[in-house]
């Protein structure tokens, strides 16, 4: 998650995007790229398939915007989301979903990113790592059980002697603390 | 076409947490995605959460190579929460006496000549288990220890106590507790009706910087006097 300046999705933003303004394009791809990664994680198992779906969505959105501007620029987010839905639907229909995924899931995408993107990613990793290291141990344990070890959630609840509702609350707190520390690291 | 989810609904139902936990049915998941693609606030939260999840999935929060016994060494949350509340409550009792004393002195009843031990009832978010029963004694106060989750570190917070029918019986703006301590409230028991249900709402003050506070309500029942 790169640090991004706040942008209103208004007519001026869409005009800059269509005109190829580099900063706006960078914001657009990072902002919606992150959201699409989150969304596509539950639908596509392969990082390469996720990346392909994102790129296809960006191309379609930009092509569409150049052909015909949005009547209401504020709906840009909804437009990106629906375009992404269409891309995923087409991937499903083309059978991409049935390709051998579990083996590919942990493999690195062999396509090399540009050098500046790699440096940014490296800096970003350091910030994320520092934010995670700054969390209380109980938060790190919970996050690791959920997202690394992918333990059964009912088992986690039994271990902690809590119900599923409270598991959500604990995750909410861990996420909030992460976000605070992440923001501090970036701005500090 | 998923039915729409608005921002309040997303916050109140901890939609992002349920999304991350894979607890949403397809239609609700689609509705939430439609929402966070259009809501700047939820989008920022979702981006941070996605970053966190991916980093943890990539092993940045420690690996699975740690011994399995480690899990068992972690105390259960109920006990851990209690250990936060009880020592703090004990340590804070002296400070609380001042609040209690003020209450008594304002009523002109008597001078406080000795420490008073209070037994607060810990309130946790409404999603968790049954409502605790708080006993009220005529002429006394109810002592409530509100578990805020440890995320509040500065600024002010706002609380409101409501009867189950929605009528507000008390509200105020108070400094946020420090260092994960619970919010302790002493409330005259005369404000409550025995056998009735109540809820306590705690929220951030605007621009208070208390991003760590979980917006939550806490429900409890007042027992017979």
Q: At a CB cut-off of 8 Å and minimum separation 6, what does B89 contact?
A: B118, B120, B145, B182, B184
Name the A residues in 101-130 with CB < 8 Å from any B CB.
125, 128-129
pLDDT digit string, tens, across residues B52-82: 998 998 888 875 443 332 322 223 333 333 3
A50 — contact with chain B (CB < 8 Å)? no
Question: Tens digit of pLDDT per residue, chain B (225 long)?
Answer: 556 899 999 999 999 999 999 999 999 999 999 999 999 999 999 999 999 998 998 888 875 443 332 322 223 333 333 333 333 443 344 334 333 333 333 333 444 566 666 777 788 877 556 678 887 655 567 788 888 776 655 677 888 888 887 878 888 888 888 777 788 888 877 777 777 788 888 877 655 555 556 667 888 888 765
Burial (0-12, 13-18, 19+ Cβ within 10 Å), B4: exposed
C-alpha B62/C-alpha A147 separation (Å) is 11
* Strands B121-123 vs B141-146: parallel, antiparallel or unpaired: parallel
Q: At a CB cut-off of 8 Å and minimum separation 6, what does A3 contact?
A: A186
Helices A22-40 & A11-19, crossing angle to 10 degrees? 100
pTM for the whole structure: 0.56
Look-up: residue for tokens 């929060």? B61
Residues in B touching A167 (Cβ below 8 Å): 21
Q: Do B22 and A42 touch (CB under 8 A)?
A: yes
Residues A4 and A31 sit within 8 Å (Cβ to Cβ): yes
B83 — contact with chain A (CB < 8 Å)? no
- Shortest Cα–Cα distance, A131 to chain B (Å): 9
List the domain boundaries for chain A. Answer: 11-105, 115-187
Whole-complex ipTM: 0.83
Q: What phi and psi values does residue B217 have, to the nearest 5 degrees?
A: -115, 155
Residues B53 and B20 sit within 8 Å (Cβ to Cβ): yes
Name the B residues in 23-62 with CB < 8 Å from any A CB.
23, 29-30, 33-34, 36-40, 43, 45-57, 59-62
What domains appear along chain B, each with residue ranges and CATH number?
1-74 (no CATH), 77-222 (2.60.40.1220)
Name the B residues in 107-126 with CB < 8 Å from any A CB.
124-125
Residues in B touching A168 (Cβ below 8 Å): 14, 17-18, 21, 23, 127
The answer regarding whether domain A115-187 maps to CATH 3.30.70.1280 reads no
Q: Which of B86, B198, B84, B92 is nearest to B142 (CA)?
A: B198
The tokens describing B74, both together, are 């972690």
C-alpha A134/C-alpha B141 separation (Å) is 39
């Amino acid at each position: 998650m790169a640090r991004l300046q706040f942008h209103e999705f208004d007519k001026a933003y869409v005009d800059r995007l269509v005109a190829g303004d580099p900063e706006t394009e960078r914001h657009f791809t990072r902002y919606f790229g992150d959201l699409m990664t989150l969304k596509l994680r539950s639908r596509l198992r392969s990082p390469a398939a996720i990346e392909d779906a994102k790129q296809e969505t960006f191309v379609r959105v930009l092509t569409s915007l150049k052909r015909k501007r949005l009547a209401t620029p504020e709906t840009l987010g909804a437009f990106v989301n629906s375009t992404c839905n269409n891309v995923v639907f087409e991937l499903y229909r083309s059978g991409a979903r049935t390709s051998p995924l579990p083996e590919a899931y942990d493999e690195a995408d062999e396509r090399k990113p540009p050098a500046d993107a790699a440096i940014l990613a490296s800096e970003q990793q350091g910030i994320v790592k520092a934010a995670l290291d700054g969390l209380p141990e109980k938060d790190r344990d919970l996050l690791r059980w959920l997202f690394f070890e992918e333990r059964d959630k009912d088992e986690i609840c039994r271990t902690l002697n809590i119900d599923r509702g409270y598991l959500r609350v604990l995750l909410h707190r861990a996420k909030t603390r992460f976000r605070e520390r992440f923001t501090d690291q970036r701005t500090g | 076409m998923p039915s729409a989810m608005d921002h309040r609904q997303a916050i109140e139902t901890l939609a992002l947490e349920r999304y991350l936990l894979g607890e949403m049915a397809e239609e609700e998941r689609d509705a939430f995605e439609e929402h966070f693609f259009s809501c700047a606030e939820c989008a920022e939260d979702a981006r941070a959460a996605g970053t966190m999840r991916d980093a943890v999935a990539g092993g940045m929060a420690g690996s699975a190579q740690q011994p399995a016994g480690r899990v068992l060494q972690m105390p259960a949350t109920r006990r851990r929460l209690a250990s936060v509340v009880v020592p703090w409550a004990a340590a804070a009792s002296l400070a609380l006496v001042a609040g209690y004393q003020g209450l008594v002195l304002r009523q002109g009843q008597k001078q406080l000549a000795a420490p008073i031990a209070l037994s607060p009832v810990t309130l946790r978010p409404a999603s968790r288990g049954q409502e605790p029963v708080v006993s009220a004694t005529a002429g006394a106060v109810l002592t409530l220890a509100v578990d805020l989750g440890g995320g509040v570190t500065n600024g002010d917070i706002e609380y409101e106590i409501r009867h189950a029918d929605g009528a507000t019986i008390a509200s105020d703006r108070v400094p946020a507790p420090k260092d994960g301590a619970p919010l302790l409230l002493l409330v005259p028991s005369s404000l409550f009706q025995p056998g009735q249900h109540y809820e306590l709402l705690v929220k951030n003050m605007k621009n208070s910087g208390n991003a760590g506070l979980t917006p939550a309500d806490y429900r409890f029942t007042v027992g017979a006097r």
